[in-house]
Structure 1
Amino acid sequence: MERFFTLLLILVLSCGLAQAQQKHSISGKVTDNTGEALTGANVYINGTTIGTATNAKGEFTLKNITAGNYQICASFSGFKRYRENIELNASIQNLEMSMEESTGTLGEVVVTGTGTPHHLKTAPVPTELLNSQMIESAAAPDFINLMGSVSPSFDFSPNTMGSFMQLNGLGNDFIVILIDGRRVYGDMGGMNDLGRINPNNIERVEVVKGASSALYGSDAIAGVINIITKKSKRSISANHNTQYGTYNTYQSTTNIDFNSKIVSGHTTFSQSKTDGWQNSPYEVDGDELVETDEMTQNAYLRRNVRQDLEFRISDKLSIYGGGSYYMNDNKRALSVKDYGLFFEDFSYNAGAKYLLSKSSNITFDYTSDTYKYYYKYNQTKEGKYEAGDYQLNSDQRRDDYNLRWISKLGKHQTITLGSELVQEFYRSEGRLQHDEESVNTLSFYLQDEISLFDDLMLTAGLRVVKHDNFGTIATPKLSALYQLGHFNLRGTYSRGFKAPTLKEQYYYYEKRGTLYLGNTDLDPQKSNYYSAGVDYNNKWLSTNMSVYQNDVDGLIAYENTELLPGDADNGIKKRRQHFNIEEARTRGFDVMVDVKLPLGFSFGGGYSYVDAMNLTEDIRLDYVARHYGNVRVGYFHHWNNYHLNVQLLGRLQDDKYYHEEPNAKGYDLWKLTTTHQLLHSNKVNLKLTAGIDNVFDYVDDVPYGENRGTINPGRTYFVGVNINFAN
């Protein structure tokens, strides 16, 4: 299979040696509807690799274009995308492109649901968008804080290892996380290592719920999160953002971009750290409370560096690649453990895109991601280890080969056809039955986007999955959008399939007297997802309401099993093993509202109701609350170069259910952020941020070992600075 993909890539590359033709150029200027130049707007020829960004005066030049009919486009954050059809027989000069400001997120373009660009308002697969303004206003110290602040559909159960994430009642294993379309792989203690995602580096977040897309694998039973990072199209750009807060919590990100006719590059370096905090000085030891030095949030140091390059070989062919390294040094007090936790991730990717015609292209992508988990000893034990030694606990690797063909058939239909090979490897001496396990999954997928009449859009897809251990299954997808004036009516059905992970089948470990066991007799999980929704949008108001039901057969969870003779002598008090819940279901509804008010005020928020049930035992699913909400109240005003943005953000949720232990208490947290733009010019921008998190000083101070609704330490303060240079 690898040879097949390699051969196809060679054939694609060889197509780039085409006969040269007479070339023309297009130059012009991009402005807003008041005539003010837009610096850094993206200008490109649709269906080609030709594109650039406007300079400090809003000017641009596109070169080496063959004669023909084209669509020239411009995009800029906060503005509706500009399109104009042109006939190019000779070079064009002084082309004026006036862009209209968007009243909300509706003019923004999303790509995650179908792999092709659509305005959010008309995206055929329902997509939730967190745009750059929302992300900046949240001034979040980490990804958990960001998503909890702006979206009620997400919930997190953080602890000292990581964070158990949920989307509409289903957890980590059912959520596919992408960064710029590349899948994030590996976990820490069964939870996502979300430290790899720095909010300072996020341009926008697109969320597709349920296994609605045929493109990313049917294992996305809960949904797909695609994080699009910041990248500049200017000739050269440097951006630095730093935020500092209570408990010596610090994060900084530096981005450097360059773009020329042939090559573009993007470099990013981010670092974050905290001294940690303790919400309670007690922990549960059997039936007693004892004093402890355990931290609610361990101190940590995280670093992440990434380099991306793209080469435009011709106006039809581009090749690209990149790599990243991430480390997470999670520290513990000497009196708690003789080791801390150390995680590292190395990933790299390469790919090519070839334009077969103005309306057809083929892409090949390869991504490899290796995630390792260590003990890092903080003290010396004679004859066993020295302080600073590392002990590898697990080594996970995922190789992904993806070949995709997209073709637009006329104005009303787009076909996507692709194949994906995924190879997974898991190595852990003493924690896997055979120390190393592996599995291959081969998939083929087809997607058809078609517009019927002017108001009805359908997206139908089929993904066929062949798994080494669980055979072949087909999973259909269907989404429909009907436009009726200011209303959009939506509906989705999708079938999902998720095989047990290597960890769920083979991994075992002991923690605090509990032995957690894999199960080689697990069955795959299958889902049926249904949703229906309605949007209403006008100049001042944007609303959405959707209802959903996700039926999951064979949901994998933990159950208690009988102790074996000798367990007590080895300190084992409880055994828990993975098993299949015969029938489970999550259902509920989400409501989102955004209102643009006079005098610079705005209001937004959302509410999510979740009913998550183990139908086999007629009990609620663990880790899930029923009611979640978010509130956003904003004020924006500017005086010449000084811009003021004030946001009050609220997060509310009720008790989180645990059927064997006390529920985690509900809470409401409020955050006040202010952003001050002090300098705004064509080449330099300067912003300051200051705010208060947890304004009313709420602390969930239950003893360590019990379930917490939030690990927020109480009222904290933060300041930040962002400076950008561009040419």
Structure 2
Amino acid sequence: MKYTLSLLLMLLHFNLTQAQSPAAQLRGTVTDDKGNAVTGAAVVIVQTGQGSATNQKGQYHITNITPGIYHIRINAIGFKTALVKIAVKSKEQLMLPVQIETDVNVLNEVSINTKKYNPDNLIDLQHTPMPSMVITRKQIEQMGSRRLDEVLKEQTGLAIVNDIGSGARAIGLQMQGFDSGYTMILIDGQPMTGRNSGNFDLSRITVANIERIEIIKGASSCLFGSEAMAGVVNIVTRQHVSQSQGMAGLRYGTFNTVDANLEGETPFANGKGSGYIAGNYYRTDGFNANPYLSEGKTVPPYTSYTLQGRAKYMLSTVNTLNFTGRFASRHSVNDKSYTGSPTKDVLEEDDLNGSAVLNTNLSSGLRIKSQYYVTRYSTGQNITDLTLNEVIPGNNFTQYLHRGEIQASKTWFNSLVVTSGIGTQYETMDNDLYQGGKHQQNSFFYNQGDWKVSDKIGVIGGFRLEHHSRYGSSLTPSFGINYQPIKMLVLKAAVATGFKTPDFRQLYLVFTNFAGGGYTVLGTEEFAAELKRLQDAGEISTVFPNASKVSTLKPERSVSYSAGFTLTPVASFKIDVNGFYNNVHNFINTDQVASKKGGQQVFSYFNIDKAFLSGFDVGLSWIAAKGFTIAAGYQLLDAKDRGVIDSIKAGTGNYAKVYDPNLAEDRRSKVSDYFGLTNRSRHMANIRFSYEYEPKGITATFRVNYRGKYGFMESNRANGFLDPYDTYVSGFFLFNASVQKTLLNKHMAVQVTADNMLNYRDMLMPGQPGRMILAGLNYRFF
């Protein structure tokens, strides 16, 4: 931490050497074609991403501009985009008044918070065929959230779920009913690695330095490849630096939770360069949701350190070099005792990401991004049986991903934006549970066109061609259309394809969970040899007939359909409705293939011919009064295996019967007996009340989140599907609130947050903490 503090102080005071900077300034007024001031227009320098929003008088002001030739882009809701070319001289105070033309049929809204030039990715995640949403930094700060999972679990259609069979640390994000392994997690447009049984633990990531979170719901393999079959979450970190400033923050509360942050940023070299650095320290005692656990926590205690930085330097008016780096470390020890068996669970985890990017912006309007990215994730998790003093093998692996990519984007005829990319990535995995080190490589090319056909019609389409070292070539196209018949209504429809290759775990895993009763999981590539080894050792009592069907796994493929509308009857009220249907082929599932003599199960992986996940989302926002906003969302989900439905109808196999404990006998099963896939809620909803009284610097939120009943496990006589007599988690509500007050001319902010105010807990939800009250203080140096 002392090195972080030293670097931060250097950044905070660097501006002392910049007092005589030759940087220029640009100011002016944006008006409409009648000479009226336009409020909230986004004025952005295309080449650097520097920008400003106009005030109530239509005025804007951009500082620290390096001399050169630039293109200035002006966007505003209800107006056509304007592009102006200017020449800026050293120390010049340039005035640029701009008049923009009214566009009554404009399709796309513009926000200064979300439309800034992104130096890390030329793909605009808000312009893809599938529905998208953005969570801004202001929203995150108002919520008082500390880790990424806390933010996402309050969003419509997203759920943070526990994979209990994979241990207390297996927590992931579920989107549109897909498991965590089907959603790609990006940081500044690049994939993150490190999953526990396919689950990406989002609590690894602090939200302290996040500028915004971009989310695509629906198959996105067209742009992002494998693992994006359910959608994408892109974490965009702090990017644009215009002045020297810093921030220090501290929160403390329930479970001895400490969240401390330091941030600093400054321009340098006469505005040609900028630097940003942030440090975060987080600790928690963890919590226990299981009354049968006499000692220890269902979510283990941990301590985490994160250091993240960014640097940018303009080599010329055409080329800009960007560097990003992030290092996170987590340490956890959980001493627990379940039914008198004491164990010690220890985790050591390191996460490293880094990139170098060259952005080239030519006078023709062509933008090129050349990037190299590397990430390394390492985890060591072992459990010690304190009674026998034996170490039980756990989850120990190191994963590398190297990625090179070139992107290009250009606007043609002021109506067609074409974005293309080509690249390759190489991934390695060194895991104690695999037979030797593993690696895979894939190369890709993608292209997307965003065409405004007319004032009422917009079309987005594209494709991705990918070649995998093991699974060969695949093509994933997508297409979407927007139609605006009247000013207040936009109709949307899209179809996209998904593609997911089997992961290292499904191919090569050889794992016996001694702590969880001794069950064994075998990857398909190791299955035959490992099953024979267990048989030769005399450990197997029964081999099931389906064991003969274990074979080379096929990639999963999906087709996603989406249709909906956005209705804005008045400026203060908007409603979004979107229906979705995901048809999945070769769905990878686990099933028991053998039993050991002690009764323990042996599992492997199979392709299921068909599964489907369908439903719809509804979201609305209403500015009920000045400073008072109400936002709400609802999702209906139907997630089922089509093969189970067909078998119930045919009355074949285990699916043909249901054991009724009330009658103590079997009966013929009905389709209505089938609840669906485990861990999926049919109903989810949320509502958020936000209030801001700007004259006094007061903001407050009150949020309610509901998750409906979902299936936990088969507990009745096993028949291969969730029937009415199995174990379920009941529906529940969570109530959260936060209040913040700024002081000292907005330099200081005091905040109190209350999560899970009614202290809801359930032993079947080990990742859900009880009531948490935290108080925080932030101070900004500027």
TM range (shorter): 0.7 to 0.9
For residue 410 of structure 2, what is the aligned residue in structure 1?
407
For residue 86 of structure 1, what is the aligned residue in structure 2?
84
Q: 1:688 aligns with which of 737, 750, 764?
A: 750
Q: Deviations over 1:343-389 (max 9, x none)?
A: 1112221121222334102211111111111136889999989xxx9
Amino acid at match of 2:736: K
Q: 1:523 aligns with which of 554, 567, 575?
A: 554
1:178–1:227: 8 Å Cα contact kept in structure 2? yes
For residue 353 of structure 2, what is the aligned residue in structure 1?
347
For residue 15 of structure 1, what is the aligned residue in structure 2?
none
1:42–1:53: 8 Å Cα contact kept in structure 2? yes
2:375 corresponds to 1:375: no
Q: How many Å separate the matches in 1 of 2:51 and 2:134?
A: 25
Q: How many Å separate the matches in 2 of 1:24 and 1:164?
A: 47
Larger mean CA deviation between 373-382 and 242-251 belongs to 373-382
For residue 469 of structure 1, what is the aligned residue in structure 2?
470
Q: Deviations over 1:140-190 (max 9, x none)?
A: 232222112243433432762141220010011110111121211111343
2:690 corresponds to 1:634: yes
1:405–1:416: 8 Å Cα contact kept in structure 2? yes
For residue 181 of structure 1, what is the aligned residue in structure 2?
189
Amino acid at match of 2:504: L
1:221–1:497: 8 Å Cα contact kept in structure 2? yes
Q: How many Å separate the matches in 2 of 1:559 and 1:469?
A: 24
For residue 672 of structure 1, what is the aligned residue in structure 2?
737
Q: 1:653 aligns with which of 690, 704, 707?
A: 707
1:205–1:225: 8 Å Cα contact kept in structure 2? yes
2:220–2:230: 8 Å Cα contact kept in structure 1? no
Q: Deviations over 1:627-655 (max 9, x none)?
A: 1111112222233xx22112110110112
Q: 1:169 aligns with which of 177, 183, 195?
A: 177
Give the secondary structure class of the aligned counterpart of 1:170: coil
Q: Deviations over 1:164-218 (max 9, x none)?
A: 2200100111101111212111113432132332122222211111224632115
Give the secondary structure class of the aligned counterpart of 1:199: coil
2:286 corresponds to 1:276: yes
Q: Given the superposition, is the C-alpha separation of residues 697 and 425 from structure 1 closer, same or farther in structure 2, using an over 3 Å criterion?
A: same
Give the secondary structure class of the aligned counterpart of 1:375: strand
Q: Percent of aligned pairs with the same residue?
A: 21
1:423–1:439: 8 Å Cα contact kept in structure 2? yes
1:257–1:266: 8 Å Cα contact kept in structure 2? yes
For residue 553 of structure 1, what is the aligned residue in structure 2?
585
Larger mean CA deviation between 304-313 and 228-237 belongs to 228-237
Q: How many Å separate the matches in 2 of 1:262 and 1:87?
A: 19
In the TM superposition, residue 63 of structure 1 has moved relative to its aligned partner by 3.7
Q: Given the superposition, is the C-alpha separation of residues 425 and 218 from structure 1 closer, same or farther in structure 2, using an over 3 Å criterion?
A: closer
For residue 156 of structure 1, what is the aligned residue in structure 2?
161
In the TM superposition, residue 616 of structure 1 has moved relative to its aligned partner by 1.3
In the TM superposition, residue 406 of structure 1 has moved relative to its aligned partner by 1.3
2:418 corresponds to 1:356: no
Q: How many Å separate the matches in 1 of 2:387 and 2:279?
A: 36
Q: Deviations over 1:368-416 (max 9, x none)?
A: 111111136889999989xxx9998211111111111212112011222
Amino acid at match of 2:583: D
In the TM superposition, residue 36 of structure 1 has moved relative to its aligned partner by 14
For residue 296 of structure 1, what is the aligned residue in structure 2?
298
2:217–2:231: 8 Å Cα contact kept in structure 1? yes
In the TM superposition, residue 106 of structure 1 has moved relative to its aligned partner by 5.8
Q: 2:613 aligns with which of 570, 586, 610?
A: 586
Q: How many Å separate the matches in 1 of 2:773 and 2:420?
A: 50
Q: Which has more radius of gyration?
A: 2
In the TM superposition, residue 65 of structure 1 has moved relative to its aligned partner by 2.3
Alignment of 1:145-294 (within 5 A): 145-157=150-162, 160-212=168-220, 214-260=222-268, 261-282=271-292, 292-294=294-296
Q: Given the superposition, is the C-alpha separation of residues 353 and 144 from structure 1 closer, same or farther in structure 2, using an over 3 Å criterion?
A: same
Amino acid at match of 1:711: G
Q: Give the gaps of 5 or more residues in structure 1.
A: 1-22, 283-290
1:29–1:37: 8 Å Cα contact kept in structure 2? no
RMSD after superposition: 3.6
In the TM superposition, residue 600 of structure 1 has moved relative to its aligned partner by 3.3
Give the secondary structure class of the aligned counterpart of 2:459: strand
Q: 1:395 aligns with which of 389, 393, 398?
A: 398
Amino acid at match of 1:501: D
Q: Given the superposition, is the C-alpha separation of residues 213 and 533 from structure 1 closer, same or farther in structure 2, using an over 3 Å criterion?
A: farther
Larger mean CA deviation between 124-133 and 630-639 belongs to 124-133
1:404–1:418: 8 Å Cα contact kept in structure 2? yes
For residue 533 of structure 2, what is the aligned residue in structure 1?
none
1:461–1:476: 8 Å Cα contact kept in structure 2? yes
Give the secondary structure class of the aligned counterpart of 1:597: strand
Amino acid at match of 1:644: I
Q: 1:133 aligns with which of 126, 135, 138?
A: 138
In the TM superposition, residue 275 of structure 1 has moved relative to its aligned partner by 0.7
Give the secondary structure class of the aligned counterpart of 2:295: coil
1:247–1:274: 8 Å Cα contact kept in structure 2? yes
For residue 421 of structure 1, what is the aligned residue in structure 2?
424
Number of residue pairs aligned between Structure 1 and Structure 2: 662
In the TM superposition, residue 232 of structure 1 has moved relative to its aligned partner by 4.7
Q: Given the superposition, is the C-alpha separation of residues 37 and 254 from structure 1 closer, same or farther in structure 2, using an over 3 Å criterion?
A: farther
Q: Given the superposition, is the C-alpha separation of residues 392 and 601 from structure 1 closer, same or farther in structure 2, using an over 3 Å criterion?
A: closer
1:674–1:690: 8 Å Cα contact kept in structure 2? yes
2:255–2:285: 8 Å Cα contact kept in structure 1? yes
Q: Given the superposition, is the C-alpha separation of residues 483 and 722 from structure 1 closer, same or farther in structure 2, using an over 3 Å criterion?
A: farther
TM-score of the superposed pair, with normalisation by structure 2: 0.77
In the TM superposition, residue 549 of structure 1 has moved relative to its aligned partner by 0.4
Q: How many Å separate the matches in 1 of 2:88 and 2:143?
A: 48
Q: How many Å separate the matches in 1 of 2:749 and 2:79?
A: 26
Alignment of 1:316-327 (within 5 A): 316-327=318-329
Q: How many Å separate the matches in 2 of 1:87 and 1:603?
A: 41
Give the secondary structure class of the aligned counterpart of 1:296: coil
For residue 288 of structure 1, what is the aligned residue in structure 2?
none
Amino acid at match of 1:468: S
Q: Deviations over 1:655-708 (max 9, x none)?
A: 222352422232111012111122335xxx2211113222222221x3xxxx32
Amino acid at match of 1:317: N
Amino acid at match of 1:343: E
Q: Give the gaps of 5 or more residues in structure 2.
A: 1-21, 54-59, 103-107, 526-551, 646-673, 716-726
Q: Given the superposition, is the C-alpha separation of residues 117 and 392 from structure 1 closer, same or farther in structure 2, using an over 3 Å criterion?
A: closer
Q: Given the superposition, is the C-alpha separation of residues 169 and 115 from structure 1 closer, same or farther in structure 2, using an over 3 Å criterion?
A: same
In the TM superposition, residue 595 of structure 1 has moved relative to its aligned partner by 0.5
Alignment of 1:29-40 (within 5 A): none
1:50–1:315: 8 Å Cα contact kept in structure 2? no
Q: Given the superposition, is the C-alpha separation of residues 663 and 379 from structure 1 closer, same or farther in structure 2, using an over 3 Å criterion?
A: closer
Q: How many Å separate the matches in 1 of 2:299 and 2:235?
A: 25
Q: How many Å separate the matches in 2 of 1:24 and 1:294?
A: 58
Give the secondary structure class of the aligned counterpart of 1:658: strand
Q: Given the superposition, is the C-alpha separation of residues 412 and 125 from structure 1 closer, same or farther in structure 2, using an over 3 Å criterion?
A: farther
2:92 corresponds to 1:65: no
2:301–2:333: 8 Å Cα contact kept in structure 1? yes
Q: Given the superposition, is the C-alpha separation of residues 280 and 105 from structure 1 closer, same or farther in structure 2, using an over 3 Å criterion?
A: farther
Larger mean CA deviation between 583-592 and 137-146 belongs to 137-146
Give the secondary structure class of the aligned counterpart of 2:417: strand
TM-score of the superposed pair, with normalisation by structure 1: 0.83
Give the secondary structure class of the aligned counterpart of 2:619: strand
For residue 45 of structure 1, what is the aligned residue in structure 2?
45
